[in-house]
Amino acid sequence: MSAREKALLMTADEIERALERLAAEIAASEPATDKLMLVGIRTRGVPLALRLAEILRQRYARDLPVGILDITFYRDDLSRIAPHPVVKTSELPRDITGRVIVLVDDVLYTGRTIRAALDHLMDYGRPDRVRLAVLVDRGHRELPIQADFVGRMIPTERNEIIKVLLREVDGEDRVLLLERESADDA
């Protein structure tokens, strides 16, 4: 099934402004920086977490550790995504027990990715709290998961796809709205 581009939802400048606002909200909500850690979910959550960490360092004098989670084996749809999924490493720079973890991802949709990330995170310890920061919340939850920090709410239809492009992964920054093309359209 293919998809066609329907609209440009966020430009590079709008992504940067959203990240600045997310960083400000994180800084305001978590005064105890020694307990705070950002953890990006592979693939696009990782560069977003690194960008947030840099903004927090430059603007708020907060030097935060950044971890990486690969949730491939924790997904409930593993058999549907690929016959031979590529698994990369998860890397947490220190023990998470007693810490405030801010999970970072690009798009919040059904909540299943976040559920998988929470399952994987608990293998590393018992954090004091886990918060969620996403660049885009598009709705349509299947699980009771809500983001604490949202760059932009973008209501969508189920036949639409939000595609986040980031320079670290895709060579450019933009957020697109795509429409799934049915087999009849081909």
Quick one: pLDDT at residue 179? Answer: 95
Quick one: pLDDT at residue 73? Answer: 80
127-173: per-residue pLDDT in tens?
Answer: 999 999 999 999 999 999 999 999 999 999 999 999 999 999 999 99
In this structure, is residue 164 part of a structural domain? no
> Which amino acid type is present at position 159?
N
In this structure, is residue 16 part of a structural domain? yes
In this structure, is residue 185 part of a structural domain? no
Separation of alpha carbons 4 and 152, rounded Å: 22
Quick one: pLDDT at residue 185? Answer: 47
Average pLDDT of the residues in 65-82: 76
In this structure, is residue 175 part of a structural domain? no
Q: Report how many domains make up the chain.
A: 1
In this structure, is residue 169 part of a structural domain? no
77-131: per-residue pLDDT in tens?
Answer: 554 545 556 667 899 988 999 999 999 999 999 999 999 999 999 999 999 999 9
Residue 40 φ then ψ, to 5°:
-90, 140
Q: How far is CA 96 from the centre of its chain?
A: 19
Separation of alpha carbons 30 and 33, rounded Å: 7
In this structure, is residue 3 part of a structural domain? no
Which CATH number is 133's domain given? 3.40.50.2020
User: Can you give the C-alpha Rg of the chain in angstroms?
Assistant: 17
Q: What is the helix (H) or strand (E) element at residue 37, kind and residue range?
A: strand 36-41
Domain, as residue range, for 26 = 12-157
In this structure, is residue 139 part of a structural domain? yes
74 pLDDT band (50/70/90 cuts)?
confident
